[in-house]
Amino acid sequence: MTLPSATSSGSSSDRGRQLQWPFVGVVVLLIVLILLTPNLFSTSGGGLQTRAQLIVDRATGATRTSFYVESIGTSTRYDWIAIGLAPVASWPFRGPATSLGPWNWTNTTQTLVVVVSNSTNPVAVNISVRYTSSSGFLTDYVGLYVFYLNTTTQSLGAVTLLSTATAPPASTPIGDLPIYLALPIKSTAGS
pLDDT in tens, 87-115: 999 999 988 888 998 999 999 999 999 99
> Is-contact 56 39, C-beta < 8 A?
no
How far apart are alpha carbons 125 and 147 in whole angstroms? 8
How far apart are alpha carbons 183 and 22 in whole angstroms? 37
How far apart are alpha carbons 113 and 102 in whole angstroms? 24
Nearest to 182 by CA among 70, 54, 48, 45: 54
pLDDT in tens, 29-83: 877 777 666 544 444 445 677 889 999 999 988 999 999 999 987 678 999 999 9
Can you give the pTM of this predicted structure?
Answer: 0.74
